[in-house]
């Protein structure tokens, strides 16, 4: 029962965060939109005065004109929501955001103006890139980390540590730019732009996608796996000094079983949490890397939204990103709770 | 904990730190970085941030050229920039009305192309008789004795800038000369094909072998360098020397290089080396400020939470968790984009808001242990207040850990700032590494192979990060002995 309760608690937590983020986003958005809408209303008003207004003034006289003008102004105010108080608008926007209604962009992207549709095209691509890279990082990182812990102090361990320190301070997107310069420009091994070819279908399309994913995935793995391996190594070293490992050794268990069966099992919960948070931290870098590679995912959309001042799109992206992020957090908590039998709401928060 | 104890434990700690080679390396790097940042105005260009965005300031620099030292690595050498001030020029006053200025340029053996252009500026003209303005003829004398007329009867005013190689009139003259030498024809200005002038590098042919009978297109396509001594001659005719005076004291003639300085230039001709050096200021300031402030906030938050305990603790940890699960980068992007103009202080503030949670957690769990110690109980029994116990007995114990966390959180802050700048959200009055990379991305520098523009800023970020990681891990190793190499 403890596990379910724990899980429910984490999910509620995630939902609260989502609500707060939505609220912040909406408050920011309304602040910007108010200015834009004011300007737009003003434009439309002068437009109206020049055409319909002039007409009314000529045919029906001053009084009717004033009346019509007031009515039209009222109509425009309602259209641009300028008649509502600030917090009311924030509330409205938050509700709309939660319903995934982000409005539309000014210029069409991927052949549509609807923001939800644009993001649903881009999101799977980002997830594809991120999950592929993450799985590779998990395998390499744990394998190397365990190896380094077993031979602590060896040349391999030292070089792994140095490599981890070096990559820890590298911006992922810059590494991507460098890899582009080296592998795509200089040696011409990979494409300079990872934009998919829209003409291809079926097997050719899959091949195209894999071909264009290679360099971004490689960049991600290169920057992230060192830190992961290093974390694993540190936790494993502590675990390998525990008494139960000595007991297992004394029993004469094979080394392989001791490492992967006993030590890694015991070290798993902290590894999982640390690593998931490290991964989530690198999510931002991954998003920016997309734009370096011209990979048509969420990151490039961010760039487009910033360049073309598409506030609506920016809101939508941030919201989706938050959902994705929180889903990963909940997933991490689930795995943690699954691995660590001590997990109960009270106990887990005190750790 | 008394002051003497702190001093003593600090001394012990220092002793131990001295034995960590990586930590010492980190400290040395940090000192170098701070020195570089402090001396930036003296070692490079003073007040760079004011000049960085004005494209006029960088007009005399070639655009998108690699650094000069790159010549040592390749066989196809690129000529460096050469500047002549009034003392380097030969000025002869032939008569009252005629002055000749000569600039000697040597195009040494081994270089593949001549300069990228020639800029002449700095005439100071006092015009009292507007109908008799001084005029100038410019031509280039080549080692093979040929003479290229570049400009004829150009009127001189204060602020006249002559840019041979960028200005289509001079390029047209070069083309006319080319055809004249090779084919013997005399073209007029209107017969010059404009597309070739604008797209091809006509200027390079001035420093190439041109003989009668050669093909013009071939020379333009692959100019064969003609090494030797060149002479740029400016003939100034001043028909009314009594009314109009020309002063040459500020004269500056630049032969634009095909390579430039220590780090080359970007698309506006900006000196990237100066940008990198100045960028260290922002990077270090933001990194250090953010890490110090957020560590202090986190420390106090965590300790208070642990000490107060109960429902307050629960609430404070909930708030912490909520902050920790907000994805910071997208929110930062959104805030930056909606604020419009973002100053450095706003960036520091934003990064602090999203940066204090980790240390708060560590501080809390550590002070939960300290809280159970008997001396805290003793202090309580003596009637010490909450704040006294926290600040006097608990916080000092955590300080060493705080330093480790501080050092380790600098790279994150530096990268976060650079990421924001890279996306175009940043202080437009500052020069930062992220902004240099942003310009590189916008101008597609990676797909054109401008490595000198992309490599140094990121390397600089990495070095700053590495410095603090080295210091931080050394501290960590001392404080967590279990992690030490076995």
For the stretch B149-160, pLDDT in tens is 998 888 888 888
Q: Is pLDDT above 70 for A350?
A: no
> Which among A168, A284, A329 is the nearest to B469, CB-wise?
A168
Place of tokens 């609430």: B315
- Kindly state the helix (H) or strand (E) to which residue B141 belongs, with its residue range: strand B135-141
Average pLDDT, chain B: 87
- With the C-alpha atoms ordered A276, B370, B397, B324, is the resulting torsion angle positive or negative? positive
For position B1, what pLDDT does the model report?
56
Q: Are B37 and B31 in contact, with CB atoms under 8 Å apart?
A: no
Q: Which residues of B touch A32 (CB under 8 A)?
A: 338
pLDDT band at B485 (very low <50, low <70, confident <90, very high): very low
Q: What is the mean pLDDT of residues A35-40?
A: 79
The helix-helix angle for B357-371 and B310-324 (nearest 10°) equals: 150
Rounded Cα distance, B62 and B80, in Å: 10
Rounded Cα distance, A257 and B421, in Å: 49
C-alpha count within 13 angstroms, C-beta hemisphere, residue A71: 9
Q: Is pLDDT above 60 for B484?
A: no
For position B482, what pLDDT does the model report?
52
> Which among B423, B455, B458 is the nearest to A288, CB-wise?
B423
Q: Are A311 and A93 in contact, with CB atoms under 8 Å apart?
A: no
Q: State how far residue B331 is from chain A, nearest Cα, in angstroms.
A: 7
Nearest CA in chain B to A23: B331
Residue B137 pairs with which residues in a beta bridge?
A: B235
- Cβ-defined contact of A177 to B437 (cutoff 8 Å): yes
For position B432, what pLDDT does the model report?
93
- Cβ-defined contact of B423 to A303 (cutoff 8 Å): yes
- Cβ-defined contact of B458 to A329 (cutoff 8 Å): no
- The rounded percent of chain A whose pLDDT value lies above 90 is 10
Q: What is the pLDDT of residues A74-90, one digit of tens each?
A: 888 887 777 778 888 88
Pick from B410, B403, B399, B401: nearest CA to B468: B410
Q: What is the mean pLDDT of residues B270-287?
A: 93
- Pick the most confident of A58-67, B108-117, B327-336: B108-117
Q: What is the pLDDT of residues A115-169, one digit of tens each?
A: 888 888 888 888 888 888 988 998 999 899 999 998 888 899 989 988 988 888 8
Tell me the ipTM for this assembly. 0.84
Q: Is pLDDT above 70 for A106?
A: yes
Q: Is pLDDT above 60 for B90?
A: yes
Q: Are A125 and A297 in contact, with CB atoms under 8 Å apart?
A: yes
- Cβ-defined contact of A306 to B425 (cutoff 8 Å): yes
> Which among A16, A17, A284 is the nearest to B329, CB-wise?
A284
Q: State how far residue A283 is from chain B, nearest Cα, in angstroms.
A: 9
pTM: 0.86
Q: What is the DSSP string of B307-334?
A: HH-HHHHHHHHHHHHHHHTS-HHHHHHH
Nearest CA in chain B to A333: B325
Compute how many other C-beta atoms are within 10 angstroms of the C-beta atom of residue A296: 22
> Which among A283, A302, A351 is the nearest to B333, CB-wise?
A302
Q: Is pLDDT above 60 for A346?
A: no
Rounded Cα distance, A217 and B319, in Å: 35
pLDDT band at A348 (very low <50, low <70, confident <90, very high): very low
pLDDT band at A349 (very low <50, low <70, confident <90, very high): very low
- Cβ-defined contact of A177 to B411 (cutoff 8 Å): no
- Cβ-defined contact of B440 to A280 (cutoff 8 Å): no
Rounded Cα distance, B314 and A117, in Å: 41
A and B: number of Cβ contacts within 8 A: 156
Estimate to the nearest angstrom the gap between the alpha carbon of A182 and the chain centroid: 27
Q: What is the DSSP string of A171-231?
A: -HHHHHHHHIIIIIIIS--S-S-----TT--HHHHHHHHHHHHHHHHHHHHHHHHHHHHHH
For position B404, what pLDDT does the model report?
84
Rounded Cα distance, B247 and B85, in Å: 13
Q: What is the pLDDT of residues A269-309, one digit of tens each?
A: 888 777 777 777 777 777 888 888 988 888 888 888 888 87
For position B486, what pLDDT does the model report?
36
Q: What is the mean pLDDT of residues B174-203?
A: 86
Better-predicted residue by pLDDT, B4 or B93: B93
Q: Which residues of A touch B325 (CB under 8 A)?
A: 13-14, 17, 325-326, 329
Q: Is pLDDT above 50 for A351?
A: no
Average pLDDT, chain A: 83
Q: Is pLDDT above 80 for B457?
A: yes
């Amino acid at each position: 029962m403890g596990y379910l309760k724990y899980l429910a608690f984490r999910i509620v937590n995630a939902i609260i965060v989502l609500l707060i983020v939505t609220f912040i986003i909406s408050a920011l958005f309304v602040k910007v939109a108010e200015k834009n809408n004011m300007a737009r209303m003003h434009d439309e008003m002068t437009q109206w005065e020049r055409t319909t207004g002039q007409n009314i003034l000529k045919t029906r006289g001053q009084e009717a004109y004033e009346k019509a003008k007031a009515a039209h102004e009222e109509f425009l105010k309602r259209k641009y929501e300028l008649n509502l108080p600030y917090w009311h608008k924030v509330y409205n926007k938050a509700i709309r955001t939660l319903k995934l209604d982000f409005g539309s962009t000014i210029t069409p992207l991927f052949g549509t103006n609807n923001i939800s549709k644009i993001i649903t095209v881009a999101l799977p691509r980002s997830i594809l890139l991120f999950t592929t890279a993450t799985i590779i990082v998990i395998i390499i990182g744990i394998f190397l980390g365990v190896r380094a812990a077993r031979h602590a102090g060896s040349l391999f361990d030292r070089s792994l540590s140095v490599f981890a320190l070096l990559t820890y301070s590298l911006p992922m997107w810059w590494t991507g730019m460098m890899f582009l310069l080296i592998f795509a420009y200089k040696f011409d091994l990979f494409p300079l732009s990872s934009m998919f070819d829209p003409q291809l279908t079926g097997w050719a399309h899959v091949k195209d996608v894999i071909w264009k994913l290679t360099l971004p995935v490689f960049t991600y793995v290169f920057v992230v796996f060192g830190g992961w391996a290093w974390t694993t190594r540190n936790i494993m070293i502590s675990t390998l000094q525990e008494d139960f490992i000595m007991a297992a050794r004394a029993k004469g268990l094979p080394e392989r079983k001791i490492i992967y069966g006993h030590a890694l099992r015991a070290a798993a919960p902290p590894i999982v949490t640390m690593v998931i948070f490290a991964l989530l931290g690198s999510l931002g870098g991954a998003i920016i890397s997309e734009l370096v590679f011209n990979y048509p995912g969420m990151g490039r959309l961010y760039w487009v939204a910033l360049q073309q001042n598409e506030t609506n799109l920016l809101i939508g992206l941030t919201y989706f990103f938050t959902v994705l992020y929180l889903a990963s957090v909940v997933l991490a908590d689930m795995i943690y709770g699954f691995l660590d039998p001590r997990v109960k709401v009270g106990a887990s928060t005190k750790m | 904990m008394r002051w003497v104890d702190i001093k003593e434990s600090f001394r012990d700690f220092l002793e131990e730190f001295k034995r960590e080679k990586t930590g010492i390396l980190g400290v040395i790097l940090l000192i170098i970085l701070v020195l570089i940042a402090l001396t930036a105005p003296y070692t490079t260009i003073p007040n760079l941030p004011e000049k960085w965005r004005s494209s006029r300031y960088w007009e005399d620099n070639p655009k998108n050229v690699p650094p000069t030292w790159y010549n040592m690595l390749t066989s196809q050498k690129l000529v460096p920039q050469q500047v002549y001030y009034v003392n380097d020029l030969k000025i002869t006053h032939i008569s009252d009305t005629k002055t000749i200025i000569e600039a000697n340029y040597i195009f040494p053996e081994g270089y593949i192309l001549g300069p990228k252009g020639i800029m002449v500026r700095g005439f100071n003209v006092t015009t009292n008789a507007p109908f008799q303005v001084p005029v100038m003829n410019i031509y280039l004398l080549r080692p093979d004795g040929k003479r290229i007329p570049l400009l004829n009867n150009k009127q001189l005013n204060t602020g006249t800038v002559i840019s041979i190689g960028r200005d289509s009139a001079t390029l047209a003259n070069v083309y006319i000369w080319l055809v004249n030498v090779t084919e013997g024809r005399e073209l007029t200005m209107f017969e010059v094909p404009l597309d070739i002038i604008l797209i091809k590098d006509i200027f390079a042919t001035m420093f190439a072998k041109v003989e009668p009978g050669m093909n013009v297109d071939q020379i333009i396509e692959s100019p064969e360098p003609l090494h030797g001594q060149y002479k740029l001659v400016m003939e100034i005719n001043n028909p009314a020397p009594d009314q109009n005076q020309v002063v040459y004291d500020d004269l500056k003639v630049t032969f634009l290089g095909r390579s430039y300085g220590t780090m080359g230039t970007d698309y506006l001709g900006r000196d990237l080396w100066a940008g990198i050096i100045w960028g260290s200021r922002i990077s270090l300031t933001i990194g250090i400020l953010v890490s110090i402030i957020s560590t202090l906030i986190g420390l106090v938050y965590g300790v208070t939470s642990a000490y107060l305990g109960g429902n307050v603790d629960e609430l404070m940890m909930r708030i912490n968790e909520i902050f920790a699960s907000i994805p910071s980068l997208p929110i930062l992007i959104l805030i930056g984009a909606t604020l419009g103009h973002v100053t450095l202080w706003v960036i520091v503030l934003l990064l602090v808001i999203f940066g204090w949670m980790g240390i708060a957690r560590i501080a809390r769990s550590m002070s939960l242990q300290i809280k159970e110690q008997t001396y805290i109980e003793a202090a309580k029994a003596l009637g010490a207040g909450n704040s006294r116990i926290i600040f006097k007995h608990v916080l000092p114990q955590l300080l060493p850990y705080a330093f480790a966390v501080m050092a380790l959180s600098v790279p994150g802050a530096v990268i976060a700032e650079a990421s924001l700048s890279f996306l175009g959200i940043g202080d437009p009055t500052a020069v930062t590494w992220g902004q240099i990379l942003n310009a590189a991305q916008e101008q597609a520098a990676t797909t054109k192979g401008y490595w000198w523009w992309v490599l140094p800023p990121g390397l600089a970020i990495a070095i700053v990060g590495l410095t603090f990681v080295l210091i931080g891990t050394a501290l960590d190793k001392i404080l967590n002995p279990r992690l030490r190499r076995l």
